[in-house]
Amino acid sequence: MGIIEKIKEIEEEMARTQKNKATEYHLGLLKAKIARYRAQLLEPTSKSGPAGVGFDVQKSGDARVALIGFPSVGKSTLLSKVTHTQSEAAAYEFTTLTAIPGVIEYKGARIQLLDLPGIVEGASQGRGRGRQVVSTAKTADLILIMLDATKSDEQRRLLEHELDAVGIRLNKNKPDVVFKRKTTGGITFNTTVKLTRTDEKTIRTILAGYKLHNCDIMIREDITTDEFIDVLIGTRKYLPCLYVYNKIDAISLEQVDKIARQPHSLVISCEMDLNLDYLIDRMWDELRLVKIYTKKRGVHPDLSDPVCLRKGATIEVPVFHIMLMSTSTQKRTSPHSICDFGSPSAHTTLQTPLAYSNPPKSVSQKSLTPIQDVCNGIHRSLAPNLRYGLVWGKSSKFNPHAQKVSLHHQVADEDVVSIFTK
Ligand SMILES: Nc1nc2c(ncn2[C@@H]2O[C@H](COP(=O)(O)OP(=O)(O)OP(=O)(O)O)[C@@H](O)[C@H]2O)c(=O)[nH]1
Ligand SMILES: [K+]
Ligand SMILES: [Mg+2]
């Protein structure tokens, strides 16, 4: 029996099983089984079909936004409107057959918008493009679920289901659970809140199902059984999502008003250019981007050339970001030649904006993987040379004056940063 059939069988069993206190942990076990099979489906080594890999489009810019929707909701029309890239749009379904990247330049940030083929129900289980689309969604920093405002809201539920099946959790925080595997010592189970949506017995059953006999668990939130399984599986993606209802030119004003009031939702018309600027503004907010200006000693910061980072970034991150961008634009033999970092003299500040003056046309995938990866590659040789930072702006304690900060200082939007090396 193939994995898809196995999943189906369990789903049927779950549907047959009455939900009550007595069956709760059995249902929990079944859920855990399904979760494992789904994970297998998407593993590259899965024998049930080709790897659950996304389209081979290089990431570029500061963030990636993926357009997910049924065929002909207007995804390609939107891409052509808000970027310089043209993606063919037509009245027939499945016009778009591959991933088409475009770039939105906004408030100094470069946001990659990915137009994708339309998906249909069952995309996450299928072996073709549908699964490729949902796998690509996993690589995004923000998902735009695009919907046809003239159609029923059932489409929204179906799309959510497809993304859920590949482990994408929309507009949710990671459950507040500490889970540590151990080699001995049995299971320690602790909670700081009363559990009303799952219980210890269910969780212990699930752990047994996973053959986990030694681990520490600390639950700090009233989680569901599903959320606990998410923690166990550990590869879930928690992504922000905006529901974008297109074609509002074709519905009544009352309907528009109703949709626009739903959480995480907004209404647009690509055809009539309605609300497209607002959409981009909301994307910027959802991506939680902040702009940082770098400054050389004795020189005014170049305010036309910010570096864009995700909120929560520390001084260390701008440093690496800048090095990162520069590694893709310059050739060098040793990491020490990056931005004067190896210079032994004190008070060498970073070259101002390496990041945006020459945005690399196509940054290699490697150089835009999580900044940590880059740190691992360059960090060890450079970290000892980083001394401290000076920060002007909202994150400075002495705003409008500068604060001397360590490399772990969290920067805020529009801060100006100088980095000092040994
Ligand atoms: N009325 C109306 N029609 C629109 C709007 N935006 C796009 N369309 C039309 O919707 C149809 C489908 O548009 P596409 O951009 O090809 O849709 P898509 O989602 O990319 O479709 P696939 O690539 O096939 O998945 C085209 O005929 C567009 O002209 C809109 O705001 N209002
Ligand atoms: K179409
Ligand atoms: Mg299209």
Q: Considering 266, 286, 306, which residue would you say is the last residue of a domain?
A: 286
- Is the CB of residue 278 below 6 angstroms from any atom belonging to ligand 1? no
Of 233-237, 383-387, 408-412, 415-419, least confident by mean pLDDT is 383-387
Nearest protein Cα to ligand 1, atom 21:
72
Judge whether 397 lies within some domain: yes
pLDDT at 56 over 70: yes
> What one-character-per-residue DSSP string does 160-176 give?
HHHHHHTTEEET-PPP-
pLDDT at residue number 209: 85
Regarding whether 153 and 262 lie in a shared domain, the answer is yes
Cα(368) to centroid(ligand 3), Å: 26
The contacts of residue 303 (CB under 8 Å, 6+ apart) are 293
Q: Which two tokens stand for residue 95?
A: 């016009």
Q: ipTM value, please give it.
A: 0.99
Instruction: Go through the chain and tell me how many residues it has.
Output: 422
Which tens digits make up the pLDDT trace of 290-322? 888 877 777 888 787 777 777 766 776 666 665
129 domain residue, yes or no? no
Q: Is the pLDDT of residue 363 over 50?
A: no
Is there a contact between 79 and 100 (Cβ–Cβ < 8 Å)?
yes
Average pLDDT in the 382-390 region? 67
Residue 48 has pLDDT above 50, yes or no: no
Paired sense of beta strands 100-106 and 109-115, if any: antiparallel
Protein residues with C-beta less than 5 angstroms from the ion ligand 2: 72, 90, 95
User: Do both 256 and 148 map to the same domain?
Assistant: yes
What DSSP designation does 340 have?
G
Helix runs in 297-385, H state only: 316-329, 354-357, 371-374, 380-382
Assign 41 a pLDDT band (cuts: 50, 70, 90): low
142-156, 160-174, 403-417: segment of lowest average pLDDT:
403-417
- The closest residue, in CA terms, to atom 3 on ligand 1 is 247
Pairing of strands 215-219, 177-181: antiparallel
264 falls in which pLDDT band (50, 70, 90)?
Answer: very high
Which residues are in the CB-under-5-Å shell of ion ligand 3?
75-76, 95-96
Ligand closest in space to the Cα of 248: 1
Determine which helix (DSSP H) or strand (DSSP E) holds 185, and give its type and residue range. none
Give a yes or no: residue 124 inside a domain.
Answer: no
pTM of the predicted model, to two decimals? 0.74
Atom of ligand 1 nearest to the CA of 89: 16
Residues 144, 18 share a domain: no
CATH number at residue 160: 3.40.50.300
**C-alpha 114 to ligand 3 mean position (Å):** 11
Ligand 1 pocket member 130 (CB < 6 A): no
Give strand pairing partners of 169.
238
Tell whether ligand 1 has an atom less than 6 A from the beta carbon of residue 269. Answer: yes
Q: Is the pLDDT of residue 332 over 70?
A: no
Calculate how far, in angstroms, residue 270's C-alpha sits from the geometric centre of ligand 3.
13
Number of domains observed in the structure of the chain: 3
CA dist list (Å): 270 to 37, 73, 78, 103, 280: 40, 10, 6, 17, 13
User: For residue 113, what are the domain limits?
Assistant: 63-118+137-172+237-286
Q: Is residue 161 in some structural domain?
A: yes
Helix (H, G, I), strand (E, B) or coil at 91: coil
**Cβ(160)–Cβ(81) below 8 Å:** no
274 and 253 inside one domain: yes
pLDDT digits (tens, 9 = 90+) for 100-111: 999 999 988 899
Q: Which atom of ligand 1 is nearest to the CA of 250?
A: 1
CA–CA dist 276, 280 (Å, integer) = 6
Residue 250 Cβ contacting ligand 1 at under 6 Å: yes
Res 168 pLDDT > 90: yes
Measured at the CA of 173, the angle between CA 245 and CA 371, to 5 degrees, comes to: 95
Do residue 265 and residue 143 come from a single domain? yes
Contact 243, 156 (CB under 8 A): yes
Residues 248 and 366 both lie in one domain: no
Q: Is the Cβ atom of 119 under 6 angstroms away from ligand 1?
A: no
The whole-number pLDDT of residue 69 equals 95
Query: Which residue from 390, 408, 392 is spatially nearest to 303, judged by alpha carbons?
Result: 392
Nearest residue to 79 via CA among 71, 88, 70: 88
Distance 249 CA to ligand 1 centre (A): 12
Residue with tokens 């910061």: 301
* In a shared domain, residues 114 and 243: yes
